[in-house]
Homo-oligomer: A and B are copies of this chain.
Amino acid sequence: MSDQRVLRPTPISGFPEWSPEIRSVEQAWLDHIRTGFERYGFASVETPSVEALDVLMAKGETSQEVYTLHRLQEDADDGSDARLGLHFDLTVPFARYVAQHFNELTFPFKRYQMQRVWRGERPQEGRYREFTQCDIDVINVDQVPLHFDAELPRIVHEVLTGLDLPAWTISVNNRKVLQGFYEGLGIADPIAVIRAVDKLHKIGGDGVRAILLERAGLSVEQAAACLELASVKGADASVVTEVKRLGVQSALLEEGLEELGFVLESLADLPAGSVVADLSVARGLDYYTGTVYEAAFDDDPAYGSICAGGRYEDLAGQFIRRRLPGVGISIGLTRIFAKLVAEGRIAPGRSCPTDVLVAVPSAERRGEALRTGALLRGRGINTEVFHQAAKIGKQIQYASRKGIPYVWFPPFEDGREHEVKDLGSGEQAPADPAEWRP
């Protein structure tokens, strides 16, 4: 054995993995998020980790991030396998799912999906190549009520609030406001402006102005107005008045402001500052057409979005001849969790779910200990029976090391009582296994 060559394993960059103490917190987060989504009636969907490459590439954009699969021992007739790739988000698989199961679904279809996704990034600090996303989307045939544009950030607000995170803000905007405003200014290519404004947080106002003037061909006045719009922020519907005061007019702008106002008014009961309008949010590379969302940590906005989403005109047009508009938002679970773990901001949880360890005082008392364990488990209490007869001190030490809060002592001789020791307080008292609660 000691002569054997040992292949010492090292962590693979970009593929996070947790100790049991941290994993138990992650699991609690996942449960909390799931419960939050179900509280609003969203149904669980899971799709395979793998899609046909032509499905993944239907939008053609993120080609370089896809991991393709190959059998290790590939041979000539493996053509079909070579056309498979791991999904890089949950939106594309969901679009394919809706198209494929269209006739089985009831619309508006409200689904949540919490799964790992993969991106073929180069190994680099802080870049995840496997991570978990938690998505909710509502899709419907032809038209999705605006109600949902307000409901989604409310759900995310509730969910994030329950996670006890460092301060964060959900920013809301509406692409119609941006596009309508630019059109009202007489700008020929509003999309180019959206792309430029999307860089505001990275390159600053001067950088954006330079792009607008030099590359997008705007006049000085047009560029100034675009930057003025991007500076509008506010916690309530007064932002609508503020935008109107800029004096630009177009039907699309009007429509967008009405939608944005509706969303903000619908969320007015949330704590001040938790959901705000931010007219600089553009989600430039995405296919959103109305409401857009983006959330970030207040103390580290440069870390980027921890949630993002918006309203899209058509989810699955590339897969089915039906118009399926929708609105959705994605919580970047691993992005949030892994950052907090790295910064030591996640308090480790229990290293095991055991509530009570039943001690085995002697081999003869083992049966009694097993019966006690079964009784406690039958009452929903997570119970370990110590794995062998051993000195009581050793058994208490095992419980203490594992963070098990109670040790149970079955009677050491017939006619005696059961006792339970609270390892936190050190107190030991008689207890009835048919009634005791941790």
Q: Which of A43-79 contact B (CB under 8 A)?
A: 43-55, 58, 63-73
| Contact A6 B52, beta carbon cutoff 8 Å | no
| Contact B50 A130, beta carbon cutoff 8 Å | yes
Q: Which of B63, B71, B321 contacts A2 (CB 8 A)?
A: B321
Q: Point out the residues of chain B lying under 8 angstroms from A71, CB to CB.
A: 64-68, 120
Q: Point out the residues of chain B lying under 8 angstroms from A48, CB to CB.
A: 12, 15-17, 130
Q: Point out the residues of chain B lying under 8 angstroms from A319, CB to CB.
A: 6-9
With most chain B CB atoms within 10 A of its CB, the pick from A50, A72, A118 is: A72
| Contact A4 B64, beta carbon cutoff 8 Å | no
| Contact B100 A11, beta carbon cutoff 8 Å | yes
A45 vs B11: C-alpha distance in the bound complex, in angstroms? 15
| Contact B20 A44, beta carbon cutoff 8 Å | yes
Q: Which of A61-120 contact B (CB under 8 A)?
A: 63-73, 80-81, 84-86, 96-97, 99-101, 104-106, 108, 110-111, 116, 118, 120
User: Given A11-B100, A43-B351, A100-B11, are A72 and B64 also a contact pair (CB < 8 Å)?
Assistant: yes
User: Is residue A40 contacting chain B, with contact meaning CB distance below 8 A?
Assistant: yes
A100 vs B428: C-alpha distance in the bound complex, in angstroms? 38
| Contact B66 A46, beta carbon cutoff 8 Å | no
User: Is residue A195 contacting chain B, with contact meaning CB distance below 8 A?
Assistant: no
A118 vs B398: C-alpha distance in the bound complex, in angstroms? 36
Q: Give the nearest-CB partner of A380 in chain B.
A: B39
Q: Which of A363-388 contact B (CB under 8 A)?
A: 377, 380, 382-385, 387-388
Q: Point out the residues of chain B lying under 8 angstroms from A26, CB to CB.
A: 46
| Contact B130 A40, beta carbon cutoff 8 Å | no
Q: How far is the CB of A23 from chain B (nearest CB, A)?
A: 5
A20 vs B46: C-alpha distance in the bound complex, in angstroms? 9
| Contact A130 B67, beta carbon cutoff 8 Å | no
User: Given A71-B64, A106-B351, are A383 and B41 also a contact pair (CB < 8 Å)?
Assistant: yes
User: Is residue A123 contacting chain B, with contact meaning CB distance below 8 A?
Assistant: yes
Chain A window 200-224, contacts with chain B (Cβ cutoff 8 Å), 1 for yes, 0 for no: 0000000000000000000000000
User: Is residue A303 contacting chain B, with contact meaning CB distance below 8 A?
Assistant: no
Q: How far is the CB of A399 from chain B (nearest CB, A)?
A: 10
Q: How far is the CB of A376 from chain B (nearest CB, A)?
A: 9
User: Is residue A169 contacting chain B, with contact meaning CB distance below 8 A?
Assistant: no
Q: Which of B6, B86, B353 contacts A69 (CB 8 A)?
A: B86
A138 vs B72: C-alpha distance in the bound complex, in angstroms? 31
Q: Point out the residues of chain B lying under 8 angstroms from A52, CB to CB.
A: 9, 12
| Contact A67 B58, beta carbon cutoff 8 Å | no
Q: Point out the residues of chain B lying under 8 angstroms from A9, CB to CB.
A: 52, 55, 96, 99-100, 319
Q: Point out the residues of chain B lying under 8 angstroms from A123, CB to CB.
A: 80
Q: Give the nearest-CB partner of A371 in chain B.
A: B269
A38 vs B380: C-alpha distance in the bound complex, in angstroms? 10
Q: Which of B17, B97, B382 contacts A41 (CB 8 A)?
A: B382
User: Is residue A317 contacting chain B, with contact meaning CB distance below 8 A?
Assistant: yes
User: Given A66-B72, A388-B145, A388-B147, are A39 and B382 also a contact pair (CB < 8 Å)?
Assistant: yes
Q: Point out the residues of chain B lying under 8 angstroms from A357, CB to CB.
A: 41
| Contact A382 B49, beta carbon cutoff 8 Å | no
| Contact B108 A387, beta carbon cutoff 8 Å | yes
New A-B pairs, 9, CB < 8 Å, besides A8-B320, A69-B70? A9-B99, A17-B48, A17-B97, A20-B111, A40-B382, A43-B352, A53-B72, A65-B72, A80-B123
A to B CB contacts below 8 Å, 11 in the list: A9-B96, A9-B99, A23-B46, A27-B44, A39-B382, A40-B384, A64-B72, A67-B69, A70-B120, A81-B120, A145-B387
